[in-house]
Structure 1
Amino acid sequence: MTVTLNQTIPDISVPLTTLQSGEYASFSLSEYRGKKIVLYFYPKDNTPGCTNESIAFRDAIDQFSALNTLIFGVSRDSLKSHDRFKEKLDLPFELIADTEELLCQQFDVIKQKMMYGKQVRGIERSTFIIDEQGQLVHEWRKVKVADHVNEVLKTVEAL
């Protein structure tokens, strides 16, 4: 079932990086009630656009935190890939390994895309804001990385 604006998002549990403890946890939206959540879906770890987007969220983390907002990056990469990506960029937030595409399907971000002249299935760069009650309150699809994080921050400030 695809989520829509102003709808409460059904809970799904997916793997999450946790480098600090050396163990893996799972992401379950219901665990974060009372906080705003920014979920940003990106195609692949260690690619230029995804790296720039993750760095922009990293650099704005204090501003988001001050607004009672948590950031989570989501891609289909493995936990191992996420761990390396997170460590390389010193990301202060968790990355969700949606290898089974559960969140991707829920948020309808898997699309047919053209890459080097061939049709491929992949994540369409998208960002979603979920409020303290677990409702989807804002979404961006077909995101362009430049200045996107500032736009997300302004939207969270306005909530």
Structure 2
Amino acid sequence: MSVSIGQPIPDFTALATGDHEISLSALKGRQVVVYFYPKASTPGCTTEGGDFRDRKAAFDAANTVILGVSRDGIRAQENFKAKQGFNFDLISDKEEAVCRLFDVIKLKKLYGKEHLGIERSTFLIDAEGRLAREWRGVKVKGHAQEVLEAAQALHEGRLDAD
């Protein structure tokens, strides 16, 4: 199963930093950015998280919550968040339930070997819980700004699901 533009996202509950669980349904009334990254504390993931961190006030102004997701354990997520000063929650998805909901587990090649891993992807969910935008195969540079602009447009009623 995969999510599609304009359709409601099935509710999910996942373990997050700060020793609590996050449910999508509990965030209803706010826009939500769910961004998936391959591995905590790696260079690209650190840069991407920092770009979201540095724009959090603007996301807040657009009534948008940021959630980062990877398959790392909760301790790795807590360390990553603390070390980088991330001002949003990270979700530990060791069982890949959230990853599979958004269909981000893909066959990847590293040093000539194939393995299943997270394809860097981001999803913007509207305040009613429907998928408004998706970005797959993300390149980090400039991405957080592009997502912010989409979140602002959605919040102001200027983004139509495409």
Coarse TM-score class (shorter-chain normalised): over 0.9
Runs of 4+ in structure 1 over 3 Å off: none
Q: Deviations over 1:1-22 (max 9, x none)?
A: 321111101111111111xxxx
Corresponding residue SS for 1:10: coil
| TM-score (normalizing by structure 1) | 0.95
1:158 deviates by 1.2
1:82 deviates by 0.3
Identity of aligned residues (%): 51
1:51 deviates by 0.3
In structure 2, C-alpha distance between the alignment counterparts of 1:16 and 1:2, rounded to whole Å:
22
Alignment partner of 1:125 out of 120, 125, 128: 120
Show the 5 A alignment for 1:5-154. 5-18=5-18, 24-154=19-149
Gap regions ≥5 residues in structure 2: 155-162
Q: RMSD over aligned Cα, in angstroms?
A: 0.6
Q: Deviations over 1:111-133 (max 9, x none)?
A: 00000111011000000000000
In structure 2, C-alpha distance between the alignment counterparts of 1:83 and 1:157, rounded to whole Å:
28
The code of the aligned residue for 2:96 comes to E
Corresponding residue SS for 2:67: strand
| TM-score (normalizing by structure 2) | 0.94
1:79 deviates by 0.3
Q: Deviations over 1:32-80 (max 9, x none)?
A: 0000000000000010000000000000000000110010000000000
1:136 deviates by 0.5
1:156 deviates by 1.0
* Residue of structure 2 equivalent to 1:21: none
